[in-house]
Amino acid sequence: TGMKFRRIPGGRFRMGSSFSEKGRYSNEQPHTVRVGEFWLGETEVTQAQWQAVMGSNPSKFRGDDLPVEKVIWHDIQEFIRKLNAPIWKRFRLPTEAEWESACREGGRKVRYCNGKNEASRLEIHYGGSRTSPVASYSPNSLGLYDMSGSVLEWTCSAYTKSYDGSEQKCVVSASKYTLRGGSWDFGPWGVRAAYRSSGNPDDRFGSIGFRLARDK
């Protein structure tokens, strides 16, 4: 498929947003979590990569190097099952805590996933009318592209309005899963590192995609 992965160091970091952060929501309670070392996709999964595995393309905005979207959570589990079948490496969605750790470049106190505290449309894809090719903007210091903006990204963690430990684990069945990163049609408030959204497993929208994680 040509997917590339970056090593994300493990460790403790402060998840959520400070009470003084502009644009914050009440579901972003600050708390300390620990994640182990793992690998994360350099970019969101593209339509060409999805097509190579699934033989179809559900996306609203078409283009081989555009992120695949309109993929429901269950479709992604089938994609992962097919990837895992012939090889030993274990692919999966990241947990919500892993996602935020990677977004924050290992846990830095920054507002956006490009390592900065101010949002610019020259550096983050938000406030637009459609998706753009992956890696159109500069990566963060871990080599990850489009962690802020582009498309919302599914995680494997059940969504809870108040953090209760669900953010640190994967579940196979939940009424809602956490979505992170914001989307191309959001304002700057919605592409912050701490921003949390949720989706039903069957939600299929042109603003939702994903990137894969891999255990070391």
Identify the pLDDT of residue 79.
97
Report pLDDT for 200: 98
For the whole prediction, is pTM greater than 0.95?
Answer: yes
For the segment 107-144, what is each residue's pLDDT rounded down to a tens digit? 899 999 999 999 999 999 999 999 999 999 999 999 99
CB 70 within 8 A of CB 152: no
Closest to 42 (Cα-Cα) out of 7, 78, 94, 91: 7
Pair of tokens at residue 172: 């196979």
CA angle (142, 170, 124) in 5-degree steps: 35
Read off the pLDDT band of 86 (50, 70, 90). Answer: confident
* Neighbour-count burial of 214, counting CB atoms closer than 10 A to its CB (0-12 exposed, 13-18 middle, 19+ buried): middle
Give dist(CA 24, CA 14) in Å, integer.
15
Give, rounded to a whole angstrom, the gap between the first and last alpha carbons of the chain.
19
Residue 212 contacts residue 46 (beta carbons within 8 Å): no
pLDDT reported for residue 85: 87
On the question of pLDDT at 89 being above 90, the answer is: no
